[in-house]
Amino acid sequence: MKAKLPRIIFLVFFLFLCAPRYQVVQSMAAGMSPTAAAQAALDKISTYYPSYSGALIAVSISGEYGAAYRNFAGFPYTVYNPDLGQSTILNA
């Protein structure tokens, strides 16, 4: 049983931390907006884990940004515009 524990920890780490980011990048490379790509990644996880709660913020190389969340009431996030020298707080 002890030998399986590190593999389980790695799987959980990959599934909930690495895989969504990879999915978002691949979706944006295929032409999706950052918001749609983040939502698609969360939807994919919730297909297998319906009670999963999580959030993603995505930024494209051109500066577009978006956020998505699953199973909670949203969250604030900040976007900084260096041209204007100011931050804007948005709600997902």
What distance in Å separates the CA atoms of residue 88 and residue 91, rounded to the nearest whole number? 10
Six token digits for residue 62? 């051109």
Beta bridge partners of 65: 59
Listed by start position, the domains of the chain span 4-91
Give residue 82's pLDDT band: very low, low, confident or very high (50, 70, 90). Answer: confident
Interval 86-91 mean pLDDT? 90
In tens, the pLDDT along 14-70 reads 556 667 888 899 999 999 999 999 999 999 888 888 888 889 999 998 889 999 999
Of the candidates 54, 60, 66, the one whose C-alpha atom is nearest the C-alpha of residue 20 is 54
Return the CATH fold of 4-91.
Answer: Glutamine Phosphoribosylpyrophosphate, subunit 1, domain 1 (3.60.20)
Q: What is the pTM of this model?
A: 0.76
